[in-house]
Amino acid sequence: MDEFIPDFLIEGSELLDQLDRDFVEFEKNPSSKELVARIFRAIHTLKGTSGAIGLKKLEAVNHVGENILSRMRDGKLSVNAEITSALLRMIDADRQIFASLESTGQEGDLEFSDVIQSLTETLTAQDILKDDKVNEANQPEVLGGTTASNLLGEILVDQGSVDAASVISALEVQQSGDPRRVGEILVQSGTVPQKAVQDALQAQSESREDAVNSNIRVDVNLLDKVMNLVGELVLARNQILQFTSNQKDPAFLNTAQRLNLITTELQEGVMKTRMQPIGNIWNKFPRIVRDLSNAAGKSVRLEMEGSQTELDKTIIEAIKDPLTHVVRNSLDHGIETSAKREAAGKSPEGLLFLRAFHEGGQVNIEISDDGAGLDLDAIKAKAIERGIVTPQHAAAMSDREIANLIFLAGFSTVEKITNISGRGVGMDVVKTNIEKIGGTVDVTSVRGRGTTLKIKIPLTLAIIPALIVTTGAERFAIPQVSLVELVRLEGKAAETGIEMIQEASVYRLRGNLLPIIYLNRELKLGNGSKAADESINIVVLQADDRQFGLVVDEINDTEEIVVKPLGKQLKSISCFAGATIMGDGKVALILDILGLAQLASLAGESCDHSAVAAKGGSSESADQRESWLLFRVGDHGKLAVPLSMVSRLEEFDPATIEMSGSHQVVQYRGEIMPLVSVADALQLTARTTREGPMQVVVHSESGRSVGLIVDEILDIVDQHVSVNKNSGNARLLGSAVIQQHVTDLLNVPELVMSFAGEGRMA
């Protein structure tokens, strides 16, 4: 009998999956006769088959379940949560036996007497008929097909030969012990003509054949092999196409062209065989949601949209666990208990919404809940406590950035560790797993309104479009998904376009500074043979949420490449994602853009840390290396402000200064900008005798600008500054030695704030 077990396992697992869904559905919709019938049939099949191939334990477990179901179907037993839970435990028991069968071929030593016991108890608790034996004749054999659409009654109704009520009454007659088939009952009661039933039976058998003949089971290994072969074919095709460039023979060119088209179609076709609807993973969520929400005393409705969205099998496998984790998280931490929800003025039933759709060659998956949302303050506090970010940095972070901190390793804000989630290994693993397959994760959250997690993943991993570049005589492939744009600097622009900030190169791309890295330097390839007057090719890339420019010697072409993994010896080099074989048969490495950015320490925040820290307006850190703007006010010596706080330097004609209340203002870029005299603020005597335009340092924060009037702009310096906090004046951060002179450091936020305070009082 053993040879039947593998087939039984496949079929049985499908039945169990279907049962999981049906039970959850049934609990919501207990009056559905169709569902009861379907569940009954599934359990009956499980019991029957397991008995037939000698799986006694499985048979015994399912036998009790079948008894319960038959009572339900007959309306002798009404469903309640207790019964559903007992039946779900039965399914779990089935799964355990299945697992054991799969690994050992035996049913295993586990005892399920407690499951059987609890099932039997639910039976006796409701104290129904003593008869424990299912009346086999009672099974609606005429419903023999496994899917509802195959039911004779339904076909008849669809054909319009009979109304649904007659079919139901015929079924009832049959279930009360009438041995005749539904068709016979209907014909003999004169409800439908004989001919209609014959047509319907014909249709029924055809649809069964269709269902059987249109699908076959294929070993995944075989599919993988075919996929590999198609990969090879794509490479061979690419090689042939290269030959065509120096061939004139029209027949050959035609054949090559046909080969090209057929290969592309074959590739698409084979990819499709590996595609699976995301519903295959989602199917288990109703059960998870039910179990978890029951355990936590929450009421949660699960909605799913786009479950037909298809993904490559390897990707489906890879996102299974991360998705489950996210769903668990939403249930556990996101959605509140009914009482809390009502107190917050929300519907007592929480909503978990899963959505999947294709967009731009990628699959988007969104998991949203209408729960409490992320507690950004708690996240911030935790991140600071764990030393993940500095307080200054945290103060300057946007809500979105803070929300995304949850993806960092070892991050869990939940004090109470539940058995569901919150064990500290969490969202970081989700992120790592998604990124492993070339995807991205982003979280947005509104306090009190809910959280949405967006996942973007590529459709397939095996064959990807890539840009081929050359550097130091080596070719490299850059996955197209990371590519933003290409920039070519020629002539004078090539000489001066890339500017230096200390060691770091930057390029002004439409007014924004784009960090630049050189591929040959990062990969230690040597300088190549680059003449000074040659053009510069910049590949603008997206790594995480950061862009950077990669300078390469040559940009060649885009190509479909087949991704092949690197051997173990090279796995530790993070800037390569794999390798591929080019049209000429040589091997080229595929760049891992994120890894490359990390190698160049771009992805880390190092490059904007200092600016952000300064923006935070902190006077805490005593040793800061940054750029300072030096200026003079009155007879006071030199003063300095961090350059990061200066948005512009302006000159205004004193005649343009107007008054608003007791304050000086000036019209600036279509707005009224208040002016603060630094001399007044520090109670110094300004050199009023000075002629000419007024020097103004413009400081902007959250869209508002304030002009600081100074006497003279001196210089911009870049150096380490150790601040001595000596002055009792809150408007000064302290003093420091800059360019061998003692310089007072202006506390701009404080100055602006006190000005705003005065403004309110005035």
Partner 1 sequence: MSATQQQFCTFFIQGLLFGVEVETVQEVIRHLEMTGVPLAPDVVAGLINLRGQIVTAIDLRRRLGVRDRLDGELPMNVVVRTGDGAVSLLVDEIGDVVEVEEEDFEEAPDTLASTSRELIRGVYKLKNELLLVLDTQRSVNISAAATAGGPGAH
Q: Which residues bind partner 1 (CB under 8 A)?
A: 231-232, 235, 474, 523-525, 564-570, 572-573, 575-576, 579-581, 585-589
* Pairing relationship of beta strands 512-518 and 546-552 according to DSSP bridges: parallel
CB of 229 to partner 1, least distance (A): 9
CB closer to partner 1 out of 466 and 676: 466
CB closer to partner 1 out of 267 and 695: 267
Q: For residues 460 and 312, is the Cβ–Cβ distance under 8 A?
A: yes
Three-state secondary-structure class, residue 380: helix
Question: Would you state the structure tokens that stand for residue 159, as one six-digit string?
Answer: 């054909």
Measure the CA–CA gap between 383 and 616, rounded to whole angstroms. 16
CB closer to partner 1 out of 460 and 580: 580
CB closer to partner 1 out of 145 and 231: 231
CB closer to partner 1 out of 76 and 571: 571
Question: Would you state the structure tokens that stand for residue 640, as one six-digit string?
Answer: 């300095």
CB closer to partner 1 out of 292 and 563: 563
Q: For residues 712 and 701, is the Cβ–Cβ distance under 8 A?
A: no
CB of 574 to partner 1, least distance (A): 9
Tell me which residue of 425, 423, 427, 458 sits closest to 442, measured CA to CA.
427
Measure the CA–CA gap between 231 and 228, rounded to whole angstroms. 5
CB of 592 to partner 1, least distance (A): 12
CB closer to partner 1 out of 562 and 666: 562
Measure the CA–CA gap between 736 and 742, rounded to whole angstroms. 6
CB closer to partner 1 out of 372 and 591: 591
Q: For residues 505 and 517, is the Cβ–Cβ distance under 8 A?
A: yes
CB closer to partner 1 out of 565 and 759: 565
CB closer to partner 1 out of 315 and 589: 589
Question: Would you state the structure tokens that stand for residue 691, as one six-digit string?
Answer: 């002629």
CB closer to partner 1 out of 369 and 592: 592
CB of 605 to partner 1, least distance (A): 24
To the nearest 10°, the Cα dihedral for 647, 652, 658, 664?
50
CB of 529 to partner 1, least distance (A): 16
Three-state secondary-structure class, residue 158: helix
Question: Would you state the structure tokens that stand for residue 396, as one six-digit string?
Answer: 């300057």
H/E/C letters for each residue in 176-230? CCCCCCHHHHHHHCCCCCHHHHHHHHHHHHHHHHHHHHCCCCCCHHHHHHHHHHH
Tell me which residue of 261, 41, 275 sits closest to 147, measured CA to CA.
41
Q: For residues 134 and 70, is the Cβ–Cβ distance under 8 A?
A: yes
CB closer to partner 1 out of 581 and 675: 581
CB closer to partner 1 out of 588 and 673: 588
Determine whether 188 is exposed, middle or buried from the number of CB atoms within 10 Å of its CB (0-12, 13-18, 19+).
Answer: exposed
CB closer to partner 1 out of 74 and 474: 474
CB of 525 to partner 1, least distance (A): 6
CA contacts within 13 A on the Cβ side of 685: 3
Tell me which residue of 249, 252, 271 sits closest to 260, measured CA to CA.
252
Three-state secondary-structure class, residue 289: helix
Q: Letter for the amino acid at 49?
A: T
CB of 589 to partner 1, least distance (A): 7
CB of 582 to partner 1, least distance (A): 9
CB closer to partner 1 out of 186 and 581: 581
CB of 519 to partner 1, least distance (A): 9
DSSP 548-610: EEEEESEEEEEEEEE-BPPPGGGTT-TTEEEEEE-TTS-EEEEE-HHHHHHHTT-SSTHHHHH
Work out the end-to-end distance of the chain between its first and last CA atoms, rounded to an integer number of angstroms. Answer: 95
CB closer to partner 1 out of 529 and 569: 569
CB of 209 to partner 1, least distance (A): 41
Contacts of 207 (CB under 8 A, 6+ apart): 145, 149, 150
Q: What share of the chain is helix, strand, coil (3-state, %, to 5)?
A: 45, 25, 30
CB of 516 to partner 1, least distance (A): 19
CB of 522 to partner 1, least distance (A): 8
Question: Would you state the structure tokens that stand for residue 46, as one six-digit string?
Answer: 């499980």
Measure the CA–CA gap between 46 and 33, rounded to whole angstroms. 20
Measure the CA–CA gap between 247 and 142, rounded to whole angstroms. 67
CB of 272 to partner 1, least distance (A): 22
Helix (H) / strand (E) element for 489: namely strand 483-489
CA distances from 246 to 132, 258, 363, 376, 452 (A): 83, 18, 40, 62, 54
CB of 570 to partner 1, least distance (A): 6
CB of 480 to partner 1, least distance (A): 21
Measure the CA–CA gap between 39 and 21, rounded to whole angstroms. 10
CB of 479 to partner 1, least distance (A): 17
